[in-house]
Structure 1
């Protein structure tokens, strides 16, 4: 459900981007529809002669009146020369100018009675023209003629605006700057990402570099598709057309490569195979383009078939393949596939709408929504790569925590090993002379007067305490559990409670035990009691007066959990993290061996122990052992 809402949020953002883009793309015609020329006359000619006079043009046969929204009249077979005629109305003030929003042709001339006032001759295959033409006052009320020669699309589409040159120029630039802003922003992002790729690890290079190529190619496509660029700097048109084709040929395999590295290779590595095919075909088209350019477009028709018709079919197969594989991964719960599918759906819907309208208009339509769909798609890809990096960062943090935990465990193991070796080599040697000394002191106690007995008794107590410490050393050094039997947790705590209740009462505390009858574990009874007596004694000593110690247990997920919670003084984080370390104790006369032995006993019995504590509130110890079923059945 959480992933579903994330997907809805991403879809909403992408749709809003596309909608805002559409609003930005709507042409600004606020300068008045009364200055719009909405109809003109057209005719066809067998040859294109830019030097024809107005009289010769007027005498051409077949002039037909056309409205701005009408389709271009059908040209006679083999004729690709059109002449357009319309009258310039009176303009009251300012410098008049004409704005042709969309005019299709490779060679365009504009004539008046005074001769040629504009000419654009393109040697490259890009027919869309946007023309802003300042006029002389002398042409007002007269007709002007627009001659168009083209090898494919031809004609005047949309309305022709008449207005003040300054205002028209502002509108002209404003309506065409969007493509440059989008394209330059994408190129800038790609360059920054390429610089950042120098600092990435090898496992991220493939997806990151593919995304950089996708964004860079998309930016170049958006800029080089704009007619504004060809109108301002038309002499570099061949370069723009070549850049458009190169970007498209780089975009498609990079797109598949990014999908492969982020989403997956697909069934029987079909994505990988298709990506290799695309790389090969793109290289073939690049070589074909180079040959066509060197031969001055002698092979243009063949190159057009390879780079438009065949490449279009390859793109359709690519999109179907990627969305199918993405859907499969999405069904399997892959969140990155969900994000990819959302971005692709936005791109595909906008593209489908435009392509349908493109063919409805008989190709007399310039696509513009596709670039906003592409931007939305790129955003979804950036979200995917960002999500991947966030996940990698989280993994690094998790690995760091685990490494720190393993390092602490290793240090603890090394300390335990040192203590074990020390205890094993020293404890027996020290215990023997202690026992001999104790025996002689006992003989002296029996023979001495009462005044000396006090000191001798104190010496015996200290010897017993030293012997207990040595016993703890031996227990730690050789932590054999001994005879393992089936232990009833409640019965064991009944004995422990009988031993420790008097001590708790003496401190002013109270012990309460709530343990079910049917909890069983495997272990050694005496070692079990020793471990929990050490834990509960620490809780009693932490009370410092009145307080309560609660003991309860239960079985969950195949484990018996035993909780010991007191209302004592508690511990801070630093002390809590060092519990169980050799020689560490927060008691004045403590050695730290008691809790260390407790940890070792629980470890040998396949148990786990953990502590939670808060200063001034109390401490809770949680011990877990593997649960077993009572072999004798319910008691």
Structure 2
């Protein structure tokens, strides 16, 4: 069974992950069909001393203002330090809780029929947090009064107000904000795992990976500390939560730019480096200011809020626009990683920029929500880039493995050829002379012998001639260089070789076709060139079967002359093809393998290359590439 490629598996995994996230998002945001959304309520400003529900209920109707969910929180008049809200609750047993999406102020109390049913004092300071207030028929059927005191970000309510069953609203209350905590802890865990993995990679790759760890970890902290669900756990320790959020933000901004720089470089004119240094300086300054404000018991909150909200927000907008523009430029230049990065980053930047614009332009407090899903999409794009990097490393490792295997084979072949050369140089001349003397005496004896003895003597001389050919091949290995180097025309030499071997091909029942371009000039020895191709074409002739065909082609390609010898003979297996050129390896019964080795050495001496392509039963093709001579 064929396994799926790593790229297809990665795409399938990303699709499933996105599907799960989308379904989870819809499931979290989905509420019970029995819930009721309150679109209208009444509001009355309160002044110092007006803290009882009885005084609010006794207030004249003209003091109560009509409010709706579509309108923002009205501005309080001078002297008002709290607000009373009045809701009409339908008389039914199905509604046992009230869920307010956003509550602002330092304290929240709920009354019904002058009875206190909820008191948030000493629990949490509300700055856009959710509140779930239980109600029951035992409290009576009168309206619900809420009292909210002034805080750093105003007071009152905002967002959606929902009536429903307590269990269903509790699940919604937890799920909507618990997703932030789950996403945040998941990102922090991912960052820790990635940091552990970085200790097993090269130091050169560690810096870029380190900044990616900081980016993912900082995003995780932002998810958790920004979630209103954390207020339920942390209680009134609001300053601690905000300080942790700010520290993560001051870490994220320069780390994000540094990681971008690690991927795509410092940019033209090193403008990205200057921008990064500005961010680093601003982050260090804000961290020191945060420490000073903490030591002074938060007496500098107004100035610190201006720096961390207004100035940092503007800097974030500039950073997102600048980096997105650079990513688009790199993507336009054809960088595939930049295309993926730009897609994920564009998703994050567009969502974040939209929410930041709404945050600064809205007259009422705006709760940032969708930016976290933009972060998830961007991190998924980083995971895709990481997967592509793993795939490239895997393919590069395979490529290195193949090159190493080819290098080892070439080294072994070179070593074997060197042994043959040394052997040839030491014995060839010494053996050739006795062979010639012996053949001469046998020829003289054959002239004086009877016909039966001549037959034996002729057989002896044929074997001596065969031994002489082998010795000649040995001498070729001993002296592979070109004794007489000249520029010659390839097509003419190949026609000469074909003229010699066509009769042999006809005896084998085959034919030979020539497809040769003219004016193909190379530098080398014509005699050695013909010797090499006589060996190659002869091997093709001996491999022919019935209706055999040999095609000899030559053409110019760029700076090289390409020569192809192709036959439809019996072909070779991969194991046989891998051993071609080894000393004394031959598929022939009486072959020595030296003829093909001679061809290898001659082609190498002419600064060329030779390659074999073959399949069993489908023939063989030999391709020789020689450098073209440009003096002709």
What TM-score comes out, normalization by structure 2 length? 0.89
Query: Does the Cα contact within 8 Å between 1:187 and 1:216 map onto a contact in 2?
Result: yes
Structure 1 unaligned regions, length at least 5: 1-8
Distance 1:187 1:151 in 2: 30
1:315 aligned to 2:319?
no
Partner of 2:479: 478
Does 1:42 find its partner at 2:41? no
Q: Which residue of structure 2 aligns with residue 86 of structure 1? A: 86
**What is the match of residue 391 of structure 1?**
392
Contact 1:110/1:145 (8 A) holds in 2: yes
CA RMSD of aligned residues (A): 3.2
Give deviations 1:511-543, integer Å, cap 9, x for gaps: 222323433333322212111111111111112
**1:31 aligns to what?**
34
Q: Which residue of 2 aligns with 1:144?
A: 145
**1:6 is matched with which residue?**
none
SS at match of 1:218: helix
Separation in structure 1 between the aligned mates of residue 18 and residue 49 of structure 2, nearest angstrom: 47
- Greater relative contact order (CA < 8 Å, ≥ 6 in sequence): 1
Q: Is the Cα–Cα contact under 8 Å of residues 14 and 343 in structure 1 kept in the other structure?
A: no
Cα separation, partners in 2 of 1:508 and 1:167, compared to 1, 3 Å: closer
State the partner residue of 2:55: 55
Per-residue displacement from partner, 1:536-586 (whole Å, max 9, x unpaired)? Answer: 111111125552222222222232222211221110011111111111111
Deviation track 1:573-622 (CA, whole Å, cap 9, x = no partner) reads 11111111111111122111100001111111222211111111211111
Mapped pair 1:367 → 2:399 = no
Counterpart CA distance in 2 for 1:471 and 1:119 is 109
How far apart, CA to CA, are the structure 2 residues paired with 1:415 and 1:370?
Answer: 67
Say if 2:247 is the partner of 1:246. Answer: yes
Aligned residues of 1:131 and 1:231 also touching (Cα < 8 A): no
Q: 1:149 to 1:119 in 2, by over 3 A?
A: farther
Conserved in 2, the CA contact under 8 Å of 1:21 and 1:372? Answer: no
In structure 2, what is the equivalent of residue 521 of structure 1?
522
Residue 243 of structure 1 and its aligned partner are, at CA, apart by 2.5
Alignment of 1:112-123 (within 5 A): 112-121=112-121
Partners of 1:604 and 1:159 in 2: CA distance: 86
Q: Note if 1:538 corresponds to 2:539.
A: yes
Q: 1:284 to 1:13 in 2, by over 3 A?
A: farther
Structure 1, residues 150-200: CA drift from partner, whole Å, max 9, x if none? 122322113433333223223323333332343333233333323332332
SS for the counterpart of 1:581 is coil
Partner SS for 1:129: strand
CA distance in structure 2 between the aligned counterparts of 1:85 and 1:480, rounded to whole angstroms: 103
Deviations, residues 134-158 of structure 1 (Å, cap 9, x unaligned): 1242242145231322122322113
- Give the secondary structure class of the aligned counterpart of 1:127: strand
Q: Does 2:410 align with 1:409?
A: yes
Corresponding residue of 1:229: 230
Farther-moved stretch of structure 1 (166-175 vs 257-266): 166-175
Question: Are 2:421 and 2:477, in contact at CA under 8 Å, matched by a contact in 1?
Answer: yes
How far is the alpha carbon of 1:95 from its aligned partner? 6.8
Output one character per residue of 1:300-340: Cα deviation in whole Å (capped at 9) or x when no partner: 22322332233223323322332233233233322222222
Name the structure 2 match of 1:64: 65
User: Is 1:347 aligned to residue 348 of structure 2?
Assistant: yes
Does the 8 Å contact 1:22/1:369 carry over to 2? no
TM value normalised by structure 1: 0.88
2:207 aligned residue:
206
Number of residue pairs aligned between Structure 1 and Structure 2: 619
